[in-house]
Structure formats: structure tokens, C-alpha cells
């Protein structure tokens, strides 16, 4: 489980570009076993000096200038150096620290299988009795970065189970057994049907929306945070794009669908934040697409992305469409009448906002939690 729980931020990280980059440095360094033991609950100059010292001691980024505030060139120079340090961490295997950390987290048998080496060889690598081959060091490093991403969604048991859980996007194979496939945390998924989703026009929106997020990061995407992975309504590099849901169940369902979580045993180990966000009052466009395209698998993404580009170029601040993650009628919620009873059926909605939105206010409704297992039956999976 991650020991990074940033609660206090001070100069020079009280900046929308420096903060996400600084947190990314911390999460990568932690995943690589560089930071050592001890929780980190604040991010400021004094903490940063210690972090950079540990990174350089591990042999990473020694060719770079000292990334210690105040950096040469002021705030802009500091942000540039943070990006360089992030790149250095991504490109620098450190088997001496990554091996022991992953061995403790994953267990020796699972780690050996993921590295495609024997348990005996792995034991010798960890004991320093044999030099780690470059190919094994590269796989070890990639695995460390994947585990670092997973730490934002699962506890330690959940991380281990993730590698053996079959995924629709991998053709029913598990990430840990998909030979020749680069393992990737998360992910997202031609549909038929000529019936329009919501029809053309605008939808007035004045509401609270919900977003599921990694508890280590802010609830919205910003410029400078790194490339936002492509999804239904945008391709790689087209962000930032903010995707929210009109109900908490819809926000949880987005995570469950993309992680392909179907077994309640996997759900037990989820640890995610849920945010309630005041999206204010805005005229959001309705995509002119068939219902099957709005809710289809990854094959429907190109059409959705093209429609989003059209709406964005027309000046719309965002769009509102049928949820692809919830089955029809599953957003009804609950009511109380002689006990808890299902609410009236209604379809879930996805709210997509284009660009950065520093004007929005959010409240963390859940810090590290998971949905109820009854929601699994309401998720529209990728297949």
C-alpha cells in the first residue's frame, strides 16, 4: 500500500503545474523502492530536498541539475526540471531497490513468473550473487511502474490479484499471463443500432456530478500533469478532458468497467476516492450519435472522439451523454419505505467538460473506499 498521502502543500508546489509533477515523482520513486520507509503527508521544499537526495543516491538523474527549489529560472525552470526528473525516473531501471520492494509486495513466485525467470535465479539476483541481466532489469522496472499506478486503486492484495484477473481487453487473458503484451493498469474499452442516443441540441446542466479518482492525485486533469490517456471522448494528447457521472454509482461503474472487475473478491481490495463536484450551470451539447455508439466498446471510440472534436470546435464547453458504464435503468439509486428499496429506474449520464476547469469546486465524499458488490450486476462491461 502506498505511503504517500499528501494533505499539506507549500511553496514551491502550491502551483497547478508543479504539484502533479511533484506527486508523480514521489509515486514513481516509491514504486521503484527509492524512498525507503515512512509516510509522506506533505510536499514542500524541506521534504523535496530529502526526496531528491534519495533519488540521486540511487543513481537516477545525476546528469541533471540539482532539482532543488528555488530552481534557476524561477517557477518555470523548476517545472521544467520536474519534468526532466520524471523522465529520468521512467527511463532508469534500479534493480537493487526495485527487486526487494516487488519481492515483498508480490511474493517470489509471482514476481519470478512476471519476470519470466526461475525462482532460483530470482533469489540469486536479490541476494546479489548474480548480476541482473539488462532484459530482466528492464522488465523489473516496467513492473515497478505498473505497480506504482495500481497503488492508486488497490491495496497490496488487490495489486497481486490484478495480475491474474482475466481482462476483456486482453482477450480473456490475465495481464500476468498475456505473453508479449505490455501490462497496463486500467485501460478502457462496433456497436449496432440506429436509434439516436439523446438527439441533437443542448442540455441545461446545473448539478452535482461525481468523479472516481486515484486518492493520491487531484480530482480533475490539468495542463502539465502529463499526457492524459485517451478514452471514449478524446485521444491521447487531446486533453485535458474531465469525465464525470451524474450519480455515485455511475462514477464507480466507470472504474469497474475499465478495470474489468466482476468478482466481489477483487472488489474487497479496491481503494479509490469519490468526489462530489459542483459543475455549475452550463449548456452542454448532446452528441448526435446512435445509442449503440454511445455505449459501445473500444471500437466505438473513434466516432465518439470525432463527435467531441466537432462539439468542441463549435464552442461547446462540454457534452452530456448516456453512460456507457451502467446498464439501462441502473442509475435509479435507492429510497426508504419500510426499509431500503430500489429507486425508480433511470439511465445514467456521463458529463464531459472540455479543458481545464479551475472554477469547479469538489468535495471528497470517500477518501479510500470501494462500492458495494451489488453494483457489479449493474455494470455494462466491455464484452
pLDDT at 196 over 80: no
pLDDT grade for 333, boundaries at 50, 70 and 90: very high
Tens digits of per-residue pLDDT, 104-147?
999 999 999 999 899 999 999 999 999 999 889 999 999 999 99
Reported in sequence order, the residue ranges of the chain that DSSP labels E, i.e. its strands, are: 4-9, 40-43, 202-213, 241-245, 272-285, 318-322, 334-336, 340-342, 349-354, 361-369
How far lies 379's CA from each of 157, 222, 284, 348, 373, in Å? 23, 28, 25, 11, 11
Residue, of 219 and 281, whose pLDDT is higher: 219
Burial 319-354 (b: 16+ CB within 10 A, else e): bbbbbbbbbeebbbeeeeeeeeeeeeeebbbbbbbb
pLDDT at 72 over 70: no
Contact 81, 52 (CB under 8 A): no
pLDDT grade for 73, boundaries at 50, 70 and 90: low
Tens digits of per-residue pLDDT, 215-237?
988 899 987 655 688 999 999 88
Integer Cα distance of 155 and 158 in angstroms: 5
CA atoms within 13 A on the CB side of 241: 24
Residue, of 225 and 181, whose pLDDT is higher: 225
Region of poorest pLDDT, from 31-35, 186-190, 225-229, 328-332: 186-190
Integer Cα distance of 317 and 259 in angstroms: 28
Helix 119-127 and helix 95-106, axial crossing angle in degrees, nearest 10: 130
CB atoms within 10 A of CB 364: 12
Rg (alpha carbons) of the chain, rounded to whole number: 22
Burial 93-112 (b: 16+ CB within 10 A, else e): bbbbbbbebbbebbeeebbb
pLDDT at 192 over 60: no
Contact 245, 209 (CB under 8 A): yes
Average of per-residue pLDDT values in the chain:
85
Amino acid at each position: 500500500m502506498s505511503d504517500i498521502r499528501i494533505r499539506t502543500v507549500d511553496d514551491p508546489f502550491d502551483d497547478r503545474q508543479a504539484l502533479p509533477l511533484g506527486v508523480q515523482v514521489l509515486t514513481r520513486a516509491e514504486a521503484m523502492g527509492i524512498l525507503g520507509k515512512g509516510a509522506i503527508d506533505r510536499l514542500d521544499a524541506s521534504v523535496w530536498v530529502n526526496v531528491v537526495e534519495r533519488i540521486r543516491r540511487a543513481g537516477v538523474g545525476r546528469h541533471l541539475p540539482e532539482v532543488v527549489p528555488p530552481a534557476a529560472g524561477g517557477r518555470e525552470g523548476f517545472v521544467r526540471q520536474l519534468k526532466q526528473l520524471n523522465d529520468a525516473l521512467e527511463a532508469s531501471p534500479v534493480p537493487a531497490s526495485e527487486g526487494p520492494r516487488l519481492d515483498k509486495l508480490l511474493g517470489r513466485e509471482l514476481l519470478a513468473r512476471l519476470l519470466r525467470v526461475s525462482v532460483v535465479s530470482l533469489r540469486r539476483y536479490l541476494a546479489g550473487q548474480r548480476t541482473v541481466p539488462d532484459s530482466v532489469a528492464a522488465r523489473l522496472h516496467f513492473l515497478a511502474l505498473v505497480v506504482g499506478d495500481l497503488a492508486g486503486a488497490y491495496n497490496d492484495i488487490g495489486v497481486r490479484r490484478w495480475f491474474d484477473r482475466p481482462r476483456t481487453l486482453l482477450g480473456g487473458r490475465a495481464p500476468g499471463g498475456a505473453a508479449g503484451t505490455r501490462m497496463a493498469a486500467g485501460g478502457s474499452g462496433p456497436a449496432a443500432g440506429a436509434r439516436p442516443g439523446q438527439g441533437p441540441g443542448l442540455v441545461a446542466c446545473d448539478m452535482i456530478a461525481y468523479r472516481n479518482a486515484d486518492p493520491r492525485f487531484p480530482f480533475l486533469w490539468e495542463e502539465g500533469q502529463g499526457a492524459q490517456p485517451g478514452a471514449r471522448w478524446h485521444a491521447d494528447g487531446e486533453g485535458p478532458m474531465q469525465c464525470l457521472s451524474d450519480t455515485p454509482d455511475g462514477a464507480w461503474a466507470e472504474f469497474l468497467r475499465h478495470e474489468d472487475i466482476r468478482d466481489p473478491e477483487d472488489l474487497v481490495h479496491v481503494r479509490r476516492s469519490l468526489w462530489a463536484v459542483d459543475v455549475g450551470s452550463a449548456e452542454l451539447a448532446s452528441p448526435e450519435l446512435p445509442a449503440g455508439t454511445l455505449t459501445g466498446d473500444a471500437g466505438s471510440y473513434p466516432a465518439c472522439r470525432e463527435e467531441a472534436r466537432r462539439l468542441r470546435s463549435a464552442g461547446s464547453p462540454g457534452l452530456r451523454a448516456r453512460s456507457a458504464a451502467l446498464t439501462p435503468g441502473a442509475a435509479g439509486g435507492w429510497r426508504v419505505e419500510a426499509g431500503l428499496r430500489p429507486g425508480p429506474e433511470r439511465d445514467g449520464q456521463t458529463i464531459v467538460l472540455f479543458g481545464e476547469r479551475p472554477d469547479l469546486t469538489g468535495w471528497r465524499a470517500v477518501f479510500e473506499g470501494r462500492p458495494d458488490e451489488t453494483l457489479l450486476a449493474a455494470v455494462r462491461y466491455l464484452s
